[in-house]
Structures are given as structure tokens and as C-alpha cells.
Amino acid sequence: MTETPQQYPTSLGTSNASTITLLGHDLSTELLGQVGFGELALWLIRQQRPEPADVRVFEAVLVALADHGFTPTAISARLTYLSAPESLQSAIAAGLLGGGSRFLGVTEDTARFLTATLAELDAPPPEAEGAPDHWDALAHTAIRNRRAEGALVPGLGHPVHRQQDPRTPALIRLAREHDRYGPHLALFEAIGRVAPEALGKPLPLNGAGVCGAALADLGLPAELLRGVALLARTAGLLGHIAEERRRPIANQIYRAVDGHAYYVAPDAPATHDYGSG
């Protein structure tokens, strides 16, 4: 009896001896030179070709998350490249592995928080551009519930931009201009409005959080958003490694830390305050 070969269906890419097909289109004749990388990435994620307004907001998010200076992810990449210059992929991977609850992971965490809050509503949320009192009341409830759980509100506060993250108003304005301002951004803005009263201190909406809200309003599932943040940061890490080759500083960082290391007893009190971002 002849066995039927197993088949593995995919809506992404396939190839044979003469052609490459991606998303149902001929890569060479229909996509190369006609589709930008941001559009392609969003198309791959959503499995349908995005509209130009979707691409504009998505690419703005990628730009907003690409680099933020000498963050732990960038330093990790540079130090790994110093240690293993023959392994570029290890340096980039080292930086990406640092995407978590304090850096980069905030994009996903904020989207999860906003999505869960909206899912608990008994009725559909009001129009994003209307009913500010409703959104503020919902934001108060969301913050109260989050505090009752003993958890921080994701997307609030930044270790550098303590008054306002400059990315936040720019991304919100862009979403509005392209008619992509939806309930996640409306709720996130309301959280920013009520947070000083609800928490007793002013905390700005950070850029990673607004990116999560904007991506959620584009219909992307929260579970994939850390991947989008890492996609953006990959470009930034590659830039850091390229700069490390031209103007190396990783060895200085290593020498500075090593030269200032000193022994303390294991039970000595900690003296560092680690911020979040």
C-alpha cells in the first residue's frame, strides 16, 4: 500500500524549484520593490493585507520602540559582542532576551491589561472619541482593581521621562489623524488622566504602553505584541553593534564595573533602586 505523504498547510511562504510564494503572492514579481517591510510584517501577523493607515500607525510604533539609548538590552548586546565578536546573532539575541516587564515587555503587558478591562464590560464601550466621563470612571475602576491585586498599572511611569514621554502624544495624535484611535487608546488616555488622583502621584503614560494600546486598536492580539516590540528593537540592537564596531565602548563599560566592584557581606542591605521602563 502506498502511503500518502503528510501535508503541512501554511498561509505564509512556500517555494519550489522556480518560484517563491509569500502570502499567496509571487515574491519576485508582486512583492519585491512594491511592499515595504513594515507593511509586510503587519500582513504576516494579521494574514490580510493592511490598509495604508494601519501601516502608518504600525510603522510609527516600530520607530518608537527601535531604540532608547543605553538601555540594559543595548548594553547586553554590546557586552556580548565584546565577549564573542564572532557571533553577531548571540549579541542580538542577548539584547532581545532582556525584553521583559521593565523594558519592551510593557507593550504587551499594557495591551493585556487594557484588553482584559474592556472585556469585562457588560456592554460595548462607548465611542473612543466620546464620553470622557465614562472612560474616566472605567479607568478609575481598572486602577482600583489592579491595586487590589497588588500589581502595578502597566504603561504608567518612566525612569527617564518623569513628566511626559515625548512618544505618547505623538503616537496618539498619529492614531487620530489616521482614524485608528480606538477603545484601547481611549482607555489608556483616561488612565493617564485619573492616575494622579487614583494613585496619589503623577505618573506619565510611557511610550511602550501607548504602543501596546495602538497595536491593540489595530486588532493585533496582546499575546503577539512583545514580538512586535522585539522586531523593532532588533533594528536598534543591530545599530548598537554597528556603532560598537566603529566606536567601541563595551570594554569601557566592563572595565568601569569591574574596577568599581567591592566585597560586601551577603547579609548587607541592598543600596540600589531599580526603576521600570
Q: Is residue 123 assigned to a domain?
A: yes
Residue 270: what pLDDT?
Answer: 80
Q: What is the rounded distance in angstroms from the CA atom of residue 238 to the CA atom of residue 73?
A: 12
pLDDT band for 273, please (50, 70, 90 cuts). Answer: low
Predicted confidence (pLDDT) per residue in 84-141, tens digit: 999 999 999 999 999 887 788 899 999 999 999 999 987 778 888 888 888 999 999 9
Asked if the structure places residue 233 within a domain, the reply is no
Per-residue model confidence (pLDDT) at position 276:
43
* Residue 277, pLDDT score: 41
- Lowest pLDDT segment from 40-54, 116-130, 220-234: 116-130
Q: What is the CATH number of the domain that holds 199?
A: 1.10.230.10
Domain presence at residue 81:
no
Domain count of the chain? 1
118 within domain boundaries: yes
- Using CA atoms of 95, 97, 102, 108 in order, give the dihedral in degrees to the nearest 10: 120
Asked whether the predicted pLDDT for residue 274 surpasses 50, the reply is no
**The domain containing residue 160 runs over which residues?**
105-224
Q: Is 167 inside a domain boundary?
A: yes
For the chain, the average pLDDT equals 92
Average pLDDT (7-12) is 92
